[in-house]
Structure 1
């Protein structure tokens, strides 16, 4: 409040609610006569004897040490709402009734907790993926990718095997992150096709995880897809 007076934002340090005491943080959210009715509805919030005027650190520490976490959370939300209410009053804007503060704090806490409820973990039988070598005299090219959002990039990997399952070529590279997942998958396929051409291999079976991309390639109708220009490159 002293800083506000120095900056001529306000002209007095008197509490704008009770108009009888100098206002500091503890007074605004705890000891003001106007907000006592808010805390009196909480039987466990009777800490007034241990709180000294102006000592907000002592006030908040007292609640952070309670054994039930929800009590500290309700205190923090309620104190924030009261401080926000105080700012609204200074700006001469409409305020909510003090009697609604606790219910609003409870609703805010519940809205936060609801998404935190852990979903039950269902045991799943692990699926074993085994590479099947291609029919003679073909080769098989497996392609895949990984998205790295932190660096806005995609890692592309291609492995080419012969009829015995032996690796005859491998590629790993990074490209800028495209706009959609579908575009990522079709770019993986295009790079796999380019790679087998670069190493001089023909009669190749391509295998990837994206059913959508495989169907698009089989249809041969690139104009149906937003990434049709990439499909054209592959075909």
Structure 2
């Protein structure tokens, strides 16, 4: 049922019909919601799911186009789920069957609300057209939309640092931890970590590196540590400013 090539709303209706969970007059009557369970359309029989979608004389003509032999076979069917099993066993078009059921149910609900509805005579063609349009639309796969926004990519070589209340800096080629008292601001903490990262990679013998940090942080590093940056090349990547 769930693998049918029909809209999801049609699959849901078919599942609810098979589990007897549609709000037919019979089900509403059982819950004391309505005083009578008589079919709203034929005014003769109790409106069960099987009746409203299959056996009601008002919709008989809809099924005579494609399912006339099954409808006139006289086979004893008491539940809608049994009807679905019979349709599957006889290798009928279950997708078209489900679409017709949805069209009937949708038409009857609109009719009760006084809305404009499709006449019963062309309802079979109407359901078939909806199914064909849906299946044709599924064959045309939309082209994926590629984002034009630049995405950050981690440098292949370089150094990274991180500042927190107990970790001062970290590099790709080694790491160390130094506990410090919490500075007065996050920017100051990041500045200390960035400055120590420059010293750290100089100690490792590198003459250049790539940094990613807040612009204000590296302003502080450059202004307060010009001596540290002598004979040292650093490319600064600034993702955003504060």
Instruction: Say which structure is richer in helix.
Output: 1
Normalising by structure 1, we get a TM-score of 0.49
Instruction: Say which structure is richer in strand.
Output: 1
The structure with more radius of gyration: 2
